Structure 1
Amino acid sequence: MHPSLLETLSAWLLVVAFTISLAYELWRATAKAGTSRHDSLPAFLIQDLWLYLVAAIVIVLLFTGVSFAAWVGLVFSALVVLVSVFYYNPVIMLERKPGLIDWVEDLLYTGLLFVVVAFLVLEVAGFRLR
């Protein structure tokens, strides 16, 4: 089956969002190591790596257009937005003593995920781009 345009756009946005996030988290784990309990390579491997693996699976599902891909992508993206807004920002972000780079990354990452959620809501509602 071929993915819809909304699924393909969502997959590309997830690629961009998680590439930004991965680069940021690796930067925090190396250049900012020790700033908080979240900023080290062991913390990255234990706390973050699984998220990138799940994101990769979701991205592949969206690119391949399997019948349930939009639902999986929607649930995944919505959960990540909720975690970002209600846990990451008030807990982890503040422990990291954020600077400009931290806030820019957070806004880009979360904003892209919001767009993915919107696209996939349209997809599961039956809206089609031509």
Structure 2
Amino acid sequence: MHPTLLETLAAWLLIVAFVISLAYELWRASAKAGASRHDSWRAFLVWNLWLYVVAAVVIVLLLAAVPGAAWVGLVFSALIVVVSIFYYNPVIMLERKPGLVDWVEDLLYTGLLFVVVAFLWLEVAGLALA
């Protein structure tokens, strides 16, 4: 069984979003270490690594066309968007004293996840891109 176009697009957007996020968080853990309590290798391993593992599982489920994968991806992506808006931005981002790179990464990451949510919502609703 093959994934639908929407599942495939969502998976690839998740790959792009999480590669951007991973590169950013590794940069913060190394080049910006100590700038905030969130910028260290320990913080990365304790708080961030699990997120990339879960994202990888969701991506594999979508690309493997596992039944229910669209729902899993939708719930996961929607939760990440909510956390980004209501926790990451008002707490972590402000503690990091963000610059241009921080805001660009945040907007790209969250924007891509919004698109993933839209694509997977269409998928679970039984609609397709025409």
Q: CA deviation at 1:79?
A: 0.1
What TM-score, normalized by structure 2, do the two folds share?
Answer: 0.99
Letter in 2 for 1:73: G
Equivalent residues in 2 for 1:1-130 (5 A)? 1-129=1-129
Task: Supply the distance in 2 between the matched residues of 1:34 and 1:108 (Cα, whole angstroms).
Answer: 24
> Residues 20-75 of structure 1: CA distance to partner in whole angstroms, max 9, x if unpaired?
00000000000000000000001100000000000000000000111100000000
Query: Which aligned segments of 4 or more residues in structure 1 are displaced greater than 6 angstroms?
Result: none
| Rounded Cα–Cα distance in structure 1 between residues aligned with 2:110 and 2:129 | 24
What is the CA–CA distance in structure 2 between the aligned matches of 1:67 and 1:127, rounded to whole Å? 16
19-28 vs 120-129, which moves further: 120-129
Q: CA deviation at 1:129?
A: 2.9
- Which amino acid counterpart does residue 33 of structure 2 have in structure 1? A
Q: Structure 2: 5+ residue runs without aligned partners?
A: none
Please report how far the alpha carbon of residue 11 of structure 1 lies from its aligned counterpart in structure 2 after TM superposition: 0.1
Compare 101-110 and 62-71 and name the one that shifted more.
62-71
Amino acid at match of 1:113: L
CA distance in 1, matches of 2:11, 2:117: 11
**CA-atom RMSD, angstroms?**
0.6
